[in-house]
A and B are shown apart, each in its own frame.
Chain A
Amino acid sequence: MIQYTIRRVLLAIPVLFGILIVTFTIARLIPGDPCTSALGERATAEACAAFNERMGLDEPILVQLGIYMRNILLRGDFGDSIRFSRPVSIMIIERLPVTLELGFSAMFLAIAVGIPAGIISSTRRNSAADVTTMVGANIGVSMPVYWLGLMLAYVFAILLKDTPFVLPNSGRLTAGVIAQPFYEVWGWELMKDTVQFTIAEFFANFVIFNSIITGDWEVLKDAIRHLILPAVALSTIPLSIIARITRSSMLEVLGQDYVRTARAKGLFERAVVIKHAFRNALLPVATVVGLQVGTLFAGAVLTESIFGFAGVGRSLFDAITGRDFPVIQAFTVVIALGYVVVNLIVDISYAFIDPRIQLD
Chain B
Amino acid sequence: MATTAETFDTPVSQDYGSNSLLRLTLRRLFKQRNALIGMVILLFLVLVATFAPIIAPHSPTVDFIGVEGAEKRGDPCIYLLGCSRDKPQHIMGLDGNFRDQFSRLIFGTRVSLFIGFTTIGAAVIVGTLIGSVSGYIGGWFDNIVMRFMDVILAFPSFLLAIAIITVLGRGLQNALYAIAIVNIPVFARLVRASVLSIKEQEYVSASRALGANSFRLLFIRILPNALPPLIVQSTLSIAGAILEAAALSFLGLGAQPPTPEWGTMLGSERNQVFTAPHLVFYPGLAIMFTVLAFNLLGDGLRDALDPRLVQKGSG
Contact = CB atoms under 8 A, between A and B. Distances in A.
B251 A302 contact: yes
Interface string A299-322: 001100110000000001100100
A200 interface: no
A284 to B, nearest CB: 14
Contacts of A23: 163
B247 A154 contact: no
Q: What band does the interface of chain B fall in when counting residues whose beta carbon is under 8 Å from A?
A: 35 or more
30 contacts: A15-B154, A18-B151, A19-B151, A19-B155, A22-B155, A26-B163, A26-B167, A30-B166, A30-B167, A31-B167, A142-B292, A144-B243, A144-B266, A145-B247, A146-B250, A147-B280, A147-B287, A147-B288, A150-B266, A150-B273, A154-B273, A295-B156, A301-B159, A302-B247, A302-B251, A306-B270, A335-B156, A336-B154, A336-B156, A336-B159
Interface string B161-172: 011101101000
Contacts of B169: 31
Interface of A: 14-15, 18-19, 21-23, 26, 29-31, 138-139, 141-148, 150-151, 153-154, 157-158, 294-295, 297-298, 301-302, 305-306, 316-317, 320, 328, 332, 335-336, 339-340
Given A144-B288, A158-B274, A320 B162 contact: yes
B34 A138 contact: yes
B158 interface: yes
Contact of B280 (A150, A302, A317, A336): A150
Contacts of A143: 284, 288, 291
B156 A142 contact: no
Contact of B154 (A29, A295, A339): A339
Interface in B231-290: 239, 243, 246-247, 250-251, 253, 263, 266, 270, 273-274, 277, 280-281, 283-284, 287-289
Contacts of A305: 251
Interface of B: 34, 147-148, 150-152, 154-159, 162-164, 166-167, 169, 239, 243, 246-247, 250-251, 253, 263, 266, 270, 273-274, 277, 280-281, 283-284, 287-289, 291-292, 295-296, 299
B159 A139 contact: no
Contacts of A295: 156
The listed residue with most A CB atoms (<10 A of its CB), out of B154, B157, B288, is B154
B2 to A, nearest CB: 32
B284 A151 contact: yes
Nearest to B275: A158
Given A26-B163, A29-B167, A302-B251, A297 B266 contact: no
Contacts of B34: 138
Contact of B163 (A146, A147, A332): A332
Contacts of B150: 15, 18
A147 B155 contact: no
Contacts of A146: 247, 250, 266, 270
Nearest to B294: A142
A16 B266 CA distance: 37
Contacts of B281: 151
A307 B150 CA distance: 33
A302 B249 CA distance: 11
Given A15-B151, A26-B163, A298 B274 contact: no
Given A15-B154, A23-B163, A294-B157, 8 more contacts: A15-B147, A18-B148, A22-B152, A146-B250, A148-B284, A150-B270, A335-B159, A339-B155
A139 B155 contact: no
A298 B158 contact: yes
Contacts of B291: 141-143
Nearest to A155: B277
A166 to B, nearest CB: 13
The listed residue with most A CB atoms (<10 A of its CB), out of B152, B157, B295, is B295
A151 B282 CA distance: 11
A144 B155 contact: no
Contacts of A302: 247, 250-251
B156 A147 contact: no
A297 B167 CA distance: 21
Contacts of B289: 142
Contacts of B151: 15, 18-19, 21-22
A297 B156 contact: yes
B147 A26 contact: no
A238 to B, nearest CB: 13
A138 B155 contact: no
A154 B281 CA distance: 10
Contacts of A154: 273-274, 277, 280
B147 A14 contact: yes
Contacts of B167: 26, 29-31
A150 to B, nearest CB: 5
Contacts of A339: 154-156
Contacts of B162: 301, 316-317, 320
Nearest to A17: B151
A138 B295 contact: yes
B152 A298 contact: no
Contact of A332 (B159, B266, B274): B159
Contact of A138 (B152, B263, B287, B292): B292
B292 to A, nearest CB: 4
Contacts of A26: 163-164, 166-167
Contacts of A317: 162, 251
Given A30-B167, A320-B166, A298 B284 contact: no
A18 B156 contact: no
The listed residue with most B CB atoms (<10 A of its CB), out of A18, A147, A153, A336, is A147
B280 A298 contact: no
Nearest to B150: A15
